[in-house]
Amino acid sequence: MASPIICFGQQPCGIFPRRFLLSKMQTAQRLQREIGGEIVFFYHDSDHDPRETTMILRDRQTGEEKRLNFQFANKLQKQFSPLFAKRVLPEWRGKTARQLPNYVSPELVEDFEKIEAKNVADFCLEMYRQLGLLEGVRVMRSGDPDFRRRAIAVDDYFVDVAYENELVRARISADALLLHRGGNSYLKLPLEKHDAAQISPTRDTRLRWMQSVICCTHYVAGASEIKYLNTEEAPGVEFIARDEISESDRAYLPDA
């Protein structure tokens, strides 16, 4: 029998990741201890939602909660660029480094200051490495052109295209590429020729697209994720709900 491949997926979810990601990692590690095999983190860095990287921290003195996130170069990049293309602004790094001592230990501030990544997705991933969360874990990224070329074709997807000097993630339609402005409002871009290296899946096509490359035997799913996954699209895969964890949407701090 082939060695098990235990997979979990997640968008970048904060510089200090939300605790639900920690739970997915711990569930995968527990399963690995039971059955062996390899752990793969499907890092969905081609998502574009800027809310995904918000982190909730508590003031170390007062306990008051604070939401911190990246700052973005402009509105277009904030709303529509994939996370791997949202640039890290030097002024944001300095401002955040000055704020962090109110919320995290000096050691974690030092870890933050070591990171020199130029985009949001890389920055988050490097912090996860600094925290020791990715030891023994193979990371595969939805924004990787090689991953995209290896994946199967799907009929519902986004296309990365240049628009007003930014890379944006536009949804395919019959006659245009669409940027969703909210509600029923869309900005239509020309339906230009594109190839597999520009394509990333929607929520409903992501499982089979991902699985066509990773070929996992076990998949650790989040609490809401397990409700919408069409598991019939991945025959032979065992789906495991992540373990419960307290304060799942708060940032994980190893010294807390």
- 162 occurs within a structural domain: no
Place of tokens 């076990």: 218
Q: Which domain holds residue 67?
A: 5-148+207-241
- 156 occurs within a structural domain: no
Split into its structural domains, the chain has a count of 1
- 49 occurs within a structural domain: yes
pLDDT recorded at residue 1 = 58
For residues 233 and 47, give the distance between their C-alpha atoms in angstroms, rounded to a whole number: 21
- 189 occurs within a structural domain: no
Total H helices, total E strands in the chain: 8, 12
Residue type, 33: R
DSSP state of 18: B
Q: Give the H or E element holding residue 57.
A: strand 55-58
- 235 occurs within a structural domain: yes
The answer, as to whether pTM is greater than 0.75, is yes
For residues 143 and 140, give the distance between their C-alpha atoms in angstroms, rounded to a whole number: 9
Confidence of residue 89 (pLDDT cuts 50, 70, 90): very high
- 86 occurs within a structural domain: yes
Place of tokens 């170390």: 60
Each residue's pLDDT tens digit, 230-242: 899 999 999 999 9
Q: Is the dihedral of CA 107, 111, 114, 118 positive or negative?
A: negative
Each residue's pLDDT tens digit, 206-253: 999 999 999 999 999 998 898 889 899 999 999 999 999 999 999 999
For residues 95 and 76, give the distance between their C-alpha atoms in angstroms, rounded to a whole number: 22
- 75 occurs within a structural domain: yes
CATH of residue 95's domain is 3.40.50
CB 157 within 8 A of CB 169: no
Beta strands 55-58; 65-68: pairing state: antiparallel
Does 256 have pLDDT greater than 70?
A: no
For residues 206 and 154, give the distance between their C-alpha atoms in angstroms, rounded to a whole number: 9
For residues 250 and 54, give the distance between their C-alpha atoms in angstroms, rounded to a whole number: 10
Find residue 137's DSSP bridge partners: 39
